[in-house]
Amino acid sequence: MLKELNLKNCKALQLLPELPMRSVSLELSKCRSLEMIINLPNLLKSLALVTDECDKLTEVQRLFKLEPIGNFDEVMIRNLGLSDLEFLRSIEVYLFNNMTRTIRKVPIQGLCEFGIFSTFLPGSEVPGWFSIKSLGSSICFKVPSFPNFKFQRSNVCVVYALSNRDYDDSHDPITECWNEFHIKVSNRTKDLKWTYSPTFLGVPDEGEDMVWLSHWNFGNVLEAGDEVDVSVFVDRFLWHCFKPKKFGIHVVFGEEEKGTYPSCQNVNNRVLYQAKTGWYHLLFGDSEGVAPLPPMNGNSDCRG
């Protein structure tokens, strides 16, 4: 049975077919035409994976999928509060790929990952329709009760910029920022936690801000009266590339709206691995060394 596969520098490889579940080593570095991987067995458990410099890799089936925002269905785009697709198609941003440690300039993209739908676009403000805004790094709220409606989904917005730190010529400030941002959602009432760091991260131009919009589909794991805390976290060793500036939450009530992408279904059903009972990590990489951001002003008092 195949356990080790070395395809380094295979420039013609575009799609990697399904691998045996007992695979333990996969070397794909510098496969610059690779666009899709069918599966990654035992990721973060026993699989030794190298995907550096796979510039075009945008999909691992049932894990994540990145493609132009206009390719997604209307429901998913509406969930992010976006409407002017023609305008969005005219904008390009730099995206850093945490999995391949590469950066590319591309049109505005949508990212489906672990039941979360995200996009990165230029901007300096949390959208006006967000129900809770803060200049702090944490927002706490109690899920209200509405007759005939259930809390199903939540939108999270982080506005950030490049930090002002100086770098020497031996370091690349972007490609060293592996898993820079983490968002943690904690249901204090039920003692459940989800920590998410996106595989792709938008890189703002110098002197400009970037907006990270994400839509979380929680299904039925949050109920009326639950006390929920949402925080922006950062790796204490990498706190030098980006500077978060503003933060917002918008809670959504009503029946669950599903898109057509498996990786954008319920967060609770798309867990990558469980650190301990009730604590789920939704990220490509390790969460060791993750620490809360220093306060940006404001507080984390719960809002009813």
Please provide the average confidence, as pLDDT, over all residues in the chain. 79
**Mean pLDDT throughout 48-67?**
92
In this structure, are 196 and 89 located in the same domain? yes
- Whether 190 and 258 have beta carbons less than 8 Å apart is answered as no
In this structure, are 172 and 250 located in the same domain? yes
In this structure, are 37 and 116 located in the same domain? no
* In a domain? residue 285: yes
Residue 124: which domain range?
68-303
In this structure, are 25 and 152 located in the same domain? no
Q: How confident is the model at residue 299 (pLDDT cuts 50, 70, 90)?
A: very low
Place of tokens 């591309």: 106
Q: Does residue 54 register a pLDDT over 60? A: yes
The token pair at 150 is 């259930």
pLDDT in tens, 238-253: 445 778 889 999 987 7
pLDDT in tens, 58-68: 999 878 899 99
Helix or strand run (H / E) with residue 95:
strand 92-97
The token pair at 83 is 């409407």
User: Which of 140-144, 182-186, 239-243, 272-276 is the least confident region?
Assistant: 272-276
Top mean pLDDT of 52-56, 149-153, 250-254 is at 52-56
Total-model pTM: 0.83
